[in-house]
Structure 1
Amino acid sequence: MSYVNQVNQNSKTATEEEEDLFDYAYEQPGSMPGTLNIEDDADLPEIILIDYNRDRVKRINNLTPEACAEHLDTESVSWLDVKGLGSENILQRLGKVFGLHPLVLEDVVNVPQRPKVEDYPQQLVIITQMVIPKTSGEGFWLEQVSLVVGKNYVLTVQEKPEKDCFRPVRRRIKFKKGNITTMGADYLAYALWDAIIDGFFPVLEIYGEKIEDLEDEVLFNPTNQSLAKVYQIKRELLALRRAIWPQRNALNKLIRDGSSFVDPEILIFLRDCYDHAVQIIDIIETYRELASSLTDIYLSAINNKMNEVMKLLTVISSIFIPLTFIVGIYGMNFNPDKSPWNMPELDWYWGYPFCWLVMIAIAASLIYFFWRRGWFENFSKIPKQK
């Protein structure tokens, strides 16, 4: 039996939600190959057909698995999009119609799997990871998308029926933009995979702005929450890296080895897709280095703040130490009647004002000395913690 790491949705904390980014599917030792694990809260599958050629485009919603069979051997290109993994019965029927190997169906259903490419006699199977930014602008969702490429069809299986990054591809098909309606199923698979990889760029753009804002915060106003924000960004960037890095390897494998379901002409487009994946990895690595450097900047800012505070305390202490010394001397109880050397100033008419004048002069002299040394220049720049 296959298991997926799960956390109770009703008791999740913010940290536990981010741990979902690092979930993975694994098999219980001794389990039978091809066993499907369906989550209790998974969405019921919805099958959507987009069938097209250079002359027409047809869309049908809510197809049954058996109704998909007539679209597998047509001259037109059929895109069958399955949204949701909540019914083992429907998925088993779908696997029977498409002739999916039990291990293929297991990889498609038991999510998340590591992105990869597998070439079977009847299909080419591509497992990918799609990133979807959250509407709040904080964080993202990772969703597995499986592509099964046949001679004249592409079967895509998504975890959730909500948003995906395929809208531009649907619009290109609907309005017959570009040459997608004149190409085969392999070009459609490339377009879908390219949309998945390009979906990383908007998310990375958000993280670039976050890192810039966090740099200012860490440098000029570091707080206890700043380090937690840095750590959170590093974790999320690591999750993005784990999602895109295997896809680069899968693209490289497909470009290098080829497939009977991918025309050599399409491999040229896949090279461009590979370049995008490499570019995303470079951006992620750059952001990870910046995030790591933010930790050093935070520690340096905190140490600098502490040094300035210690300098201020040192100045104050240095001013009051001689004053305390004078006050301590005149706080001694020696009787002046017993000896002329015992506190003769106690009998002076101007003794008390003179003592104050001496202490003020000493304090003013020390303040002037510290000012000349430049010790007061940075006190106004000490970050104030909110």
Structure 2
Amino acid sequence: LFIIAQMAYHDAEENLCNEQVSMFLGNNFLITIQEEPDYDVFLSVRERLRSGRGMSRKSKADYLAYALLDSIIDNYYPVLEKIGADIDSLEDLLLQRPTRDMVQTLHEQKRNLTHVRRLVWPMRDVINSMLHDNSVFVANTTKVYLRDCYDHVVQLMDLVESYREVSSGLMELYHSSVGLRTNEVMRVLTVITSVFIPLTFIVGVYGMNFAPHTEQGKPLPMNMPELYQPYGYIILMGLMIAIAIVQLYIFRRMKWL
């Protein structure tokens, strides 16, 4: 019986890695082939074999194959726990101050979840095949334990889908947070613009510089006699300041500030 399983783990740099494990199962032998010899998830199995604990040394090769598959499947839990912890931390940061770097990190976590899903999905078919095929290499007593592996794979699929939904919700949360911040900025800019509109109008009107009389001294009606008003500059500045204060007070009462 030829079995292919995908092993997932985080390396020393916290990067998600996967590795294919191939198994040749016979009546009295089990041959496993790994791609990388430096790291695997079979330390607990080795310790049970060396210490004689459990049923690994008392059972046949099919039970050892189950033990290796169970170790591979169980190691997906800490992988998903780390991804879930990273997503939770991103959620707290997104609520406080969302940035583009967080979006990139969120995309990486979604990509990791998709990658884990592609690894876990075939494991379900492998375990299901070993459970229901009438193979002479897998005893009925071992199939009882394989059912536990199948349940764990189903739980892993549920976890992956849950985290995928959470990550999608966080992306919506980011867009909502950015939209709220944009609205806050636009509201402040709108208030500032509204304050300066009447001030700009007044300054523009008095910037036209229509003289109140001709060079010969002949009066010109309706031609800005205020240009020669004593203290006109101070009065005009005071008027503009008063207009700005009144506008800010109105905006404050309307809760726009």
The two structures have a TM-score, normalised by structure 1, of 0.63
Q: Please identify which structure carries the higher helix content.
A: 2
Partner of 1:342: 223
Secondary structure of 2:57's match?
A: helix
Query: For 1:86-110, what per-residue CA distance to the aligned partner results, in whole angstroms no more than 9, with x for missing partners?
Result: xxxxxxxxxxxxxxxxxxxxxxxxx
Checking the alignment, whether the CA contact within 8 Å between 2:6 and 2:20 is kept in structure 1 is: yes
Partner of 2:185: 309
Partner of 1:211: 87
**2:18 is the alignment partner of 1:142:** yes
Partner of 1:18: none
The two structures have a TM-score, normalised by structure 2, of 0.93
Checking the alignment, whether the CA contact within 8 Å between 2:5 and 2:123 is kept in structure 1 is: yes
Checking the alignment, whether the CA contact within 8 Å between 2:211 and 2:225 is kept in structure 1 is: no
| 1:326 CA drift (Å) | 0.7
**2:155 is the alignment partner of 1:279:** yes
**2:24 is the alignment partner of 1:126:** no
Checking the alignment, whether the CA contact within 8 Å between 1:334 and 1:343 is kept in structure 2 is: yes
CA distance in structure 1 between the aligned counterparts of 2:256 and 2:154, rounded to whole angstroms? 50
The runs of at least 4 aligned residues of structure 1 exceeding 3 Å deviation read: none
Q: Which of 238, 251, 255 matches 1:370?
A: 251
| Cα RMSD after superposing both structures | 1.4
Equivalence map 1:208-287=2 (5 Å) = 208-287=84-163
Query: For 1:295-341, what per-residue CA distance to the aligned partner results, in whole angstroms no more than 9, with x for missing partners?
Result: 22222222222211111110100000000111111111211123243
CA distance in structure 2 between the aligned counterparts of 1:229 and 1:315, rounded to whole angstroms? 36
Higher relative contact order (CA 8 A, sep 6+): 2
Unaligned stretches of 5+ residues in structure 1:
1-123, 377-386
CA distance in structure 2 between the aligned counterparts of 1:183 and 1:356, rounded to whole angstroms? 96
Partner of 1:355: 236
Secondary structure of 1:180's match?
A: coil
| 1:279 CA drift (Å) | 0.8
Q: Which of 298, 301, 318 matches 2:194?
A: 318
Which of 1 and 2 has greater Rg?
2
Q: Please identify which structure carries the higher strand content.
A: 1
Checking the alignment, whether the CA contact within 8 Å between 1:258 and 1:264 is kept in structure 2 is: no
| 1:260 CA drift (Å) | 0.8
Secondary structure of 1:181's match?
A: coil
| 1:236 CA drift (Å) | 1.4
| 1:263 CA drift (Å) | 1.1
